[in-house]
Amino acid sequence: MSGRERSGEGARREVGLALRADRRRRGQSQRAYAAARGLSRAALARAEVDAGGVRLESLLWLLRGTGYELVVVPIDQDRPPTAWEPTDLEATTRSGSRFPPHREVRESRDGPTWWWYHEVLGNRGDHGDLQRPGWTAEGFTPPPGTRYGRKPRPRDDGDGATWPY
């Protein structure tokens, strides 16, 4: 076991993974999950990213009802195995953050459709340095009433709605 794991690095990460797994099981956004648990979205976000600054009493409260618990094992003994999905451990967005747990994430060998349309076919910059995303959450059906980005707008009076770029 490395010094990093001994210092609690693995446990700090796994508490966040446990909270995200419970959110995924419930099908809730971070905001809805935090409201249902009676805490602020910011506090939940901090615990999901790095639980190292959270008091032990608060960690135990956060994990209550999730199906996970904290376990203390001797240093010379292996930690109990966990069953995290590869998407929980490896998948990140272009900005380096994790995908929302309520989205179905899958590996994308050729790059997602949006990437081809916006980055390759949309003539955005030099194509020689484009890094193809390895993961995608395409195919997601947004909840009713959700709106992303700008509404399509007519270019000239009388034109129909067009792509906003």
Query: What is the DSSP-derived secondary structure letter of residue 153?
Result: B
For the chain, report the end-to-end CA distance as a whole number of angstroms. 52
Domain span including residue 62? 3-84
Same domain, residue pair 31 and 93: no
Helix (H) or strand (E) holding 135: strand 135-136
Residue 104 is encoded by which pair of tokens?
């179905």
Q: How far apart, in whole angstroms, are the C-alpha atoms of residue 13 and residue 89?
A: 10
Same domain, residue pair 58 and 76: yes
Residue 162 counted as domain residue:
no
Same domain, residue pair 67 and 36: yes
Residue 157 counted as domain residue:
no
Which pLDDT band, with edges at 50, 70 and 90, does 76 fall under? confident
Higher pLDDT among residues 63 and 4, named by residue = 63
Q: Is 81 in a helix, a strand, or coil?
A: coil
Same domain, residue pair 136 and 73: no
Residue 55 counted as domain residue:
yes
Cβ atoms of 108 and 83 within 8 Å: the answer is: no
Same domain, residue pair 8 and 80: yes
CA count, 13 A, side-chain hemisphere, 158: 0
Same domain, residue pair 110 and 42: no
pLDDT in tens, 108-141: 888 787 777 777 776 655 555 677 788 888 776 6
Output the CA–CA distances (angstroms, integers) from residue 93 to 61, 112, 123, in the order listed. Answer: 30, 12, 21
Percent of the chain at pLDDT exceeding 90 = 6
Same domain, residue pair 73 and 93: no
- Number of structural domains the chain divides into: 2
Whole-prediction pTM value?
0.62
Same domain, residue pair 128 and 62: no
Same domain, residue pair 60 and 17: yes
Cβ neighbours of residue 69 under 8 Å, at least 6 residues apart?
63
Among candidate residues 17, 12, 23, 24, the one with its CA nearest the CA of residue 105: 24
